[in-house]
Amino acid sequence: MSSISFGLEHNIYKSFNVGFDVITYPSGSGLEFDTKKSKNSSWTWYPYGEKGGSIFAPYLSIHF
């Protein structure tokens, strides 16, 4: 599995920060797992589907 990510965080007031992450998954990027019944067979999980895509995740953090 391969992915490209970028993040940015900015202090808005004392211990409060706001930021975002952007994660891009290329097409065909997935994780392969063994099935419980047979170790010879496996299935693939694609985090954003077989065609790939991007996830935008904004967040607010508080530092104590």
In terms of pTM, does the model score above 0.85? no
Q: What is the pLDDT of residues 7-43, one digit of tens each?
A: 999 999 999 999 999 999 888 888 888 888 777 888 8
Q: What is the rounded CA–CA span in Å between residue 9 and residue 24?
A: 18
> Are 61 and 9 a contacting pair, CB within 8 Å?
yes
pLDDT of 22 reads 95
Q: How far is CA 40 from the centre of its chain?
A: 28
Banded model confidence at residue 1, pLDDT cuts 50, 70, 90: low
Q: Using the CB atoms, write b or e for 7-24: b if 16+ within 10 Å.
A: eeeeeeeeeeeeeeeebe
Of the candidates 49, 60, 61, 59, the residue with the CA atom closest to the CA atom of residue 24? 49
